[in-house]
Amino acid sequence: MRGRMVRPGPPAGLREARWLIDALQQELDQLNPLGRSVVRVRRRRAWPEPQPVHEVQVIAGTLHATHRDADLERAILGAFQEVFDVLEPIEPSRPLH
């Protein structure tokens, strides 16, 4: 009799970082008028280093950001920061005119 194939859940690091992704995604969805954003997290091998890195993609309408880092939390924050920088540009300290 064959055993059932059990699909493994997300890695422990991703389960622990899920609250961060959910909080940032909720904030992004409130700022973005184009609707709900999509977040993809992958673990990849980085070239030329043989150590795997986390690749986080954030897609919000026409905005797209990808950030890679060995630390999952830094990869998440980096990808979201790129999108937030476009949606909320830093206001200059003096008028431009």
Strands (E) across 1-97 are located at 38-45, 52-60, 63-69
For residue range 6-60, list pLDDT tens digits in order: 455 555 677 788 999 999 999 998 888 777 889 999 988 766 667 788 899 999 8
Q: CA dist 90 to 43, 69, 82, 84, 93, Å? A: 31, 25, 12, 10, 9
Q: For residues 91 and 68, which has the higher predicted lDDT (pLDDT)?
A: 68
* pLDDT of residue 1 exceeding 50: no
Total-model pTM:
0.74
Per-residue model confidence (pLDDT) at position 4: 54
